[in-house]
Amino acid sequence: MGLLSGMMGHASEVSIEKLAKEFQPILMDTEQIERAYKLIRDMLVFTNKRLILVNKQGLTGSKTDYQSIPYSSIKMFSKESAGIGDLDAELKIWLTGESEPTIKQDFRKGDNINEAYRVLSRHVLK
């Protein structure tokens, strides 16, 4: 079962400028956010160095877990859609040593899963 597979809903893109202040304390000096997608309170954040999974916990979301996944730990990824006119698409990411996708995230049409796929391709397929 994927880390995010139990969550209902779809990811939508988040403005990088809105995230700059929140992520400044945890990013390396040369690290930059390239894309970010939000699902309710949780996020997938693609930087030029790693993928960060953000899990807001509790009723108020005041407790936050930031999980860093180096791109070198990603062994495979895929995007799936039903075809032309499909309203939804799914991004799946497998980590080294796992036989099932560790991360599964739904995207709505128009949220450009293709850009997330290109970011993964650029960093994983070096």
pLDDT digits (tens, 9 = 90+) for 8-66: 456 678 888 889 888 999 999 999 999 998 877 788 999 999 999 998 887 766 788 99
Question: Distance between CA atoms of 49 and 23, rounded to whole angstroms?
Answer: 13
Question: Taking Cα atoms as reference points, which of 109, 95, 123 lies closest to residue 12?
Answer: 109
What are the distances in angstroms from CA 7 to CA 24, 28, 93? Answer: 27, 29, 16
Residue 1 binned pLDDT confidence (cut-offs 50, 70, 90): very low
> Global pTM?
0.81
Least confident of 30-34, 65-69, 72-76, 103-107: 103-107
